[in-house]
């Protein structure tokens, strides 16, 4: 399924939630204070002699840290920041349950899935799927999350305000990374009655980001019949058309913007083809 992070998630992943670290310069100044010259250890022969400390150039402030330095040590300065919370909304009208047979294992496998984003008119930023292998007590919670997250130590999740559980990333592609956790059927039973699934990840600067995923109607879809393959095909076709339409609209906006700002420069390059 298509998967494109929005501007909000781009800001989350690049660490724009970081606070500054003004204490760097202060600490560097304290460390840079020069020791008294060795002549200060001798008895003062002339009262009029200048005091030993303080060369004027030593008082110049240390340059402020670059953004890269600030991101490398976000905890400096004693300022702590809690997880950034992102409330997601469903990008699809309802959960979709798909079933099929694994020929190798000779077992029926169903998965119940839904895409989520930050705004209704934006592409999804996270996809959630719960796999049910008929006859097995172990179920699989699988997610597709944006690229740019720290892969270690993985992610954590909880159902409503229940205990935290752990999951691990399995593989990454240019459009996102797959993470999954194996759980018992009792956990899925809890999801059917819950209102939200909370997923905590870490971004590039080791800051926590918390995705809040609504679980309304999950239990109904999980226990209900699978979608008709023809209906599923039609839904996928419609989704592709909508995404293509959005891409065309964005392309036209970009072309219009370029024409209004730099379009006059384009003809100047034409004579080069002669």
pLDDT in tens, the chain (274 residues): 444 444 444 444 434 332 223 232 333 333 333 333 333 334 344 444 444 444 444 444 434 333 333 333 444 444 446 678 999 999 888 999 999 988 887 889 999 999 999 987 778 889 999 999 998 999 999 999 988 899 988 999 999 989 999 999 999 998 899 999 999 999 999 999 999 999 999 988 889 999 999 999 999 999 999 988 787 788 778 878 877 887 888 888 888 888 887 654 444 444 444 4
108 within domain boundaries = yes
240 within domain boundaries = no
Specify the pLDDT at position 262. Answer: 67
| Contact (CB, 8 A) for 200 and 209 | yes
63 within domain boundaries = no
Report the DSSP pairing between strands 208-214 and 84-87.
Answer: parallel
Residue spans of alpha helices (H) in 14-64 = 23-32
Q: Cα dist. 268→99, 271, 274 in Å?
A: 59, 7, 12
274 within domain boundaries = no
248 within domain boundaries = no
**Dist CA 123 CA 116 (whole Å):** 8
CATH of residue 186: 2.60.40.1880
Specify the pLDDT at position 249. Answer: 85
Question: 2: how many CB neighbours lie within 10 A of its CB?
Answer: 16
Q: Cα dist. 263→163, 249, 255, 273 in Å?
A: 57, 19, 9, 18
| Contact (CB, 8 A) for 197 and 128 | yes
165 is in which domain, residue-wise? 85-230
Alpha carbon 33 to chain centroid, angstroms: 41
| Contact (CB, 8 A) for 20 and 73 | no
Specify the pLDDT at position 179. Answer: 95
222 within domain boundaries = yes
**Dist CA 247 CA 271 (whole Å):** 32
What's the burial of 246, exposed, middle or buried (CB within 10 Å: 0-12/13-18/19+)?
A: middle
The greatest distance separating any two alpha carbons of the chain, rounded to the nearest whole angstrom, comes to: 101
185 within domain boundaries = yes
**Dist CA 60 CA 65 (whole Å):** 15
Question: 128: how many CB neighbours lie within 10 A of its CB?
Answer: 24
Separation of first and last alpha carbons in the chain? 46
| Contact (CB, 8 A) for 150 and 161 | no
Q: Cα dist. 130→3, 10, 34, 96, 183 in Å?
A: 18, 26, 63, 11, 10
Q: pTM for this structure?
A: 0.60
Nearest alpha carbon to residue 187 among 219, 151, 220, 221:
219
94 within domain boundaries = yes
| Contact (CB, 8 A) for 40 and 49 | no
Domain count, the chain: 1
| Length, in residues, of the chain | 274
């Amino acid at each position: 399924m298509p998967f494109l992070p929005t501007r909000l998630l781009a800001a989350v992943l690049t660490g724009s939630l970081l606070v500054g670290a003004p204490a760097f310069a202060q600490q560097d100044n304290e460390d840079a204070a020069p020791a008294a010259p060795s002549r200060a250890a001798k008895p003062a022969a002339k009262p009029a002699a200048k005091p030993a400390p303080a060369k004027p150039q030593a008082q110049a402030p240390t340059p402020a840290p670059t953004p890269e330095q600030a991101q490398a040590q976000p905890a400096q300065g004693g300022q702590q920041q809690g997880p950034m919370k992102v409330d997601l909304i469903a990008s699809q009208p309802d959960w979709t349950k798909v079933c099929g047979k694994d020929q190798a294992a000779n077992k029926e496998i169903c998965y119940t899935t839904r895409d989520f984003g930050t705004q209704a008119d934006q592409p999804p930023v996270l996809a959630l799927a719960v796999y049910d292998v008929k006859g097995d007590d172990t179920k699989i919670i699988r997610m597709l999350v944006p690229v740019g997250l720290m892969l270690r130590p993985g992610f954590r999740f909880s159902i409503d305000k229940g205990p935290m559980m752990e999951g691990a990333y399995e593989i990454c592609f240019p459009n996102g990374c797959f993470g999954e956790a194996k759980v018992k059927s009792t956990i899925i039973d809890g999801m059917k009655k819950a209102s939200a699934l909370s997923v905590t990840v870490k971004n590039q600067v080791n800051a926590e980001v918390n995705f809040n995923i609504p679980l309304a109607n999950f239990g109904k879809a999980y226990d209900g019949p699978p979608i008709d393959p023809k209906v599923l095909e039609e839904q996928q076709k419609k989704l592709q058309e909508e995404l293509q339409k959005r891409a065309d609209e964005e392309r036209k906006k970009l072309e219009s913007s370029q024409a209004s700002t730099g379009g006059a420069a384009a003809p100047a390059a034409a004579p080069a083809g002669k």
